Amino acid sequence: MPVRQKTPQSFTIRESSPADIPGIMRLKFELAVSDAAPFTVRAGPADWQRDGYGPNAPFTIFVAESESRVVGMAICAERFFPGWVGPTVALLDLCVEANCRNRGIGTALLAQVARFAKARASVMIELTMRAGNRAGALYERVGYVNVTDARNYVLAGNALDRLAGFAAPPARKTG
C-alpha cells in the first residue's frame, strides 16, 4: 500500500514498477557521480528489467514519486548468514534528487525499507557507505549506528582476476 506524506509538495513512496526504470537509472547515475564512480554504472534498461522485476528478482526497489516523477529511490536485498535465522536486509542504494532533499523523502524511503525488513522477520538492516557521504547524518538521525570496529573489503579488477586464476597445488599423496 502506498504511503502518502504531506509536505509543501507531496510525495508517495511505493514499490517500483518497470515503468520507473528511466527514473531509477537517472538516480543511480546521480548517486554514482556523487561517489566519484560513474564508471561503475553499466546496466541498461534491459538489465534493470531482467534483474529488478519478476519472481526471482535479487533486489527490491522502492521509489518516491512527486508530481508523476521519480525523485527518490531505495534499493535493498535480503542477505543470509549461516547459522542466523532469517535474512538480514542490506540497503544497497538510497538517493533523493538534490532539489528534493530535506523534505522527508529519504526518511520515508528508509521507513519503507524498515517495513520491508520487518515483514521478512529480519533482525537488522545493514548498509555500507563511503566516508564523508552526507547521508550519514540522515542514517544516524533515524537510528543507524556506525560500527567502528568493522571493515569493508572489496576485491576487484586485476586482484579479482589473479585470485580467480589461482590454482590450488595438487594434493600430496601420503603413506
pLDDT digits (tens, 9 = 90+) for 92-139: 999 999 999 999 999 999 999 999 999 999 989 999 888 877 888 888
pLDDT digits (tens, 9 = 90+) for 44-92: 999 999 999 988 999 999 999 999 999 999 999 999 988 888 899 999 9
Max distance between CA atoms of the chain, in angstroms, equals 80
| Spatial separation of the C-alpha atoms in residues 93 and 28, rounded to whole Å | 8
pLDDT band at 15 (very low <50, low <70, confident <90, very high): very high
pTM of the model: 0.83
**Domain 3-164 part of CATH 3.40.50.300:** no
User: How is the chain split into domains, by residue range?
Assistant: 3-164
Assigned C-alpha cell, 52: 529488478
